[in-house]
Amino acid sequence: MALFSTPRSSLVGGFLAAIGASLCCVGPLVLVSLGIGGAWIGTLTALEPYRPLFIAVTLLFLFLAFRKLYLVPRVCDPDQPCANPATLRNQRILFWVVSVALIALLTFPYYGVYFLE
């Protein structure tokens, strides 16, 4: 079985990459809002140079999940779960929910400043 051959694994990979991309910006805000503070929180900004790489990986995983859900024809036996139309519908719904969450995480540095005012 190939790595990231299912839409779910592509979505998980994209979600993890988006968390990595937004860790420098969202991480300190979340920690401070939870009451966790300290000088070490400032070191999370050291991940900022890697943000474009994480964004690229996130978009790659989203593309792979989209491709698997919408572009590649589904081939499965009638007794497999993938033959059920409800399974495909649920996977597509999950894809769009995760995509919206990822876009919110990736764009946080642009609208996050309004939370700090």
Q: Is residue 97 part of a domain?
A: yes
Q: Is residue 1 part of a domain?
A: no
Q: Is residue 64 part of a domain?
A: yes
pLDDT in tens, 8-37: 676 677 677 766 666 666 666 666 666 766
Residue 1 predicted with pLDDT over 60: no
Q: Is residue 41 part of a domain?
A: yes
Q: Is residue 74 part of a domain?
A: yes
**Which domain, by its residues, includes 46?**
7-112
Instruction: Name the phi and psi angles at 73, rounded to 5.
Output: -65, 140
Q: What is the DSSP string of 33-79?
A: HTT---GGGGGGGGGGGGHHHHHHHHHHHHHHHHIIIIISPP---TT
pLDDT in tens, 34-54: 676 666 666 666 767 878 887
Q: Is residue 57 part of a domain?
A: yes
Per-residue pLDDT band for 5 (boundaries 50, 70, 90) equals low
Q: Is residue 48 part of a domain?
A: yes
Count: domains in the chain:
1
Per-residue pLDDT band for 77 (boundaries 50, 70, 90) equals confident
